[in-house]
Amino acid sequence: MSGQTPPTLQKLARQTLLRDEALAISSLEELPAVVFPPLFQEAFAGRLNKLIKAMVAAWPFHDLPVGPLINMHNLETLQALLDGVDMRLTRKFHPWCLRTPLQTLSITHCLISQTDLDSFSCCHNLFKLKNLEIRGVTLFALDLMPLRGLLGKLAGTLESLDFQWCSMKDSQLIVLLPALSQCSQLNQINFYSNDFSMAILKDLLQHTANWSKMNVEQYPVPLECYDALGHVSRERFVELCQELMDTLRAKREPKSISFATNVCQNCGKTCVYGQGARLCSCLQ
Ligand SMILES: [Zn+2]
């Protein structure tokens, strides 16, 4: 047998399964774990929503990296995914899987609705997450109370949280703050590219005394750093970021912390305040 035989056979097997969705679903319990990731990708590509749902329910690994697979215009697929997570919860399918609740959930660059968000907070199989990434998902129009509920459940387990490019506003961070401040296991957080004022960023940092394990923390610069046209004021950038840094140091000593502007419309770079100030090309 040549070294190429196993992958070819695997591919043929996958093609057969993908031609008959019902057969694929009924075969999931017998499939080796190694087949799941490629079959899952192909199910996404073919929009086989029933198979996606069943595969999530039967997923044999701790992590379920779905972000890059979700198409912005295919909300049915996202719903299938969430239904699958629900099935893990309700033990309708494949129990051996409930022994391994999800540790990582990554949802990136897609649209989610209020209904989607509501379902996160009541999905028990997410309540042991260590890593939650909701990146490039526009949240500014949504009620984040369900997310606060989820974060409250994760206070003792969550280690990394990524909300980059979510266009959150002050009113939304205020909703999350009580739960966030209780997440004592957090060692990594990213809030870059959200729209927060100086007042709410200060408030956030003043409520992070519990974050004693924090290693890397990334925040957006306050909105007050920009002028009416969205250009960064170098003086305000330095002054306000230093003030935020001092606010935090009054509570705890950060290890690695940075405040970043949005990408500059002229040079495509960002200004970052961390160990000193690094300005975009235009402001140097
Ligand atoms: Zn620039």
- Which pLDDT tens digit goes with each residue over 106-159? 888 877 888 888 877 777 778 889 999 999 989 999 999 999 999 999 999 999
So what's the pLDDT on residue 70?
Answer: 64
Residues 271, 265 contacting (CB under 8 angstroms): no
- The pLDDT assigned to 85 comes to 75
Highest-scoring range by mean pLDDT, 2-11, 75-84, 173-182:
173-182
pLDDT of residue 47: 85
- Separation of CA 88 and ligand 1 centre (Å): 47
Q: Which range, of 11-25, 135-149, 197-211, 253-267, averages the lowest pLDDT?
A: 11-25
| pLDDT tops 70 at residue 2 | no
pLDDT of res. 183: 97
- Give me the pLDDT at residue 40, please: 87
Q: What does the block give as tokens for 86?
A: 């629900």
As a whole number of angstroms, the distance between CA 92 and CA 56 comes to 12
Range scoring the smallest mean pLDDT among 83-97, 122-136, 217-231:
83-97
Single-letter residue type at 188: Q
Strand ordering across the sheet containing 256-260: 63-65, 104-108, 131-135, 160-162, 188-190, 216-220, 256-260, 272-274, 276-278
DSSP E strands in 109-235: the ranges are: 131-135, 160-162, 188-190, 216-220
The per-residue pLDDT for 278 is 94
Ion ligand 1 residues within 5 Å by Cβ: 264, 266-267, 280, 282
How remote is the CA of residue 57 from the centroid of ligand 1, in Å? 46
Q: What's the mean pLDDT when you consider all of the chain?
A: 86
Q: Which residues pair with 179 in a beta bridge?
A: none
- pLDDT, position 99: 46
Rounded distance from Cα 51 to ligand 1 centre (Å): 47
CA of 233 to the centre of ligand 1 (A): 11
pLDDT at 6 over 70: no
Q: Which residues contact 81 (CB under 8 A, 6 or more apart)?
A: 52, 53, 56, 66, 70
Residue 220 CA, ligand 1 centroid: distance in Å: 16
Average the pLDDT over 90-105 and give the result.
60
The CATH number of domain 130-284 is 1.20.120.1200: no
Q: How many CB atoms lie within 10 A of CB 141?
A: 10
- pLDDT more than 90, % of the chain: 49
Residue 8 banded pLDDT, cuts 50, 70, 90 = low
Taking the centre of ligand 1 as the mean of its atom positions, its distance from the CA of residue 265, in whole angstroms, is: 7
The CA 248 to ligand 1 mean position distance, Å, reads 28
**Per DSSP, what are the bridge partners of residue 217?**
189, 257
Task: Please state, in angstroms and rounded to a whole number, the distance separating the CA atoms of residues 203 and 196.
Answer: 11
Token output for 257? 């912390």
Whether the predicted pLDDT of 92 surpasses 90: no
Residue intervals of the chain classified under CATH 3.80.10.10 are: 130-284
Higher pLDDT, 243 or 8: 243
Task: Tell me the pLDDT band of 68, cut-offs 50, 70 and 90.
Answer: low
Determine which of 61-65, 114-118, 129-133, 251-255 has the lowest per-residue pLDDT on average. Answer: 61-65
CA of 226 to the centre of ligand 1 (A): 13
* pLDDT range class, residue 88, cuts 50, 70, 90: low
Using the mean position of ligand 1's atoms as its centre, give its distance from the Cα of residue 166 in Å: 22
Indicate the pTM of the whole model: 0.70
Is the pLDDT assigned to residue 224 strictly greater than 80? yes
139: phi then psi, degrees, rounded to nearest 5: -115, -5
The mean pLDDT of 86-98, rounded to a whole number, is 56
Average pLDDT over residues 228-257: 95
Q: Which residue has the higher pLDDT, 208 or 112?
A: 208
* Residue 194 tokens, joined: 């959200």
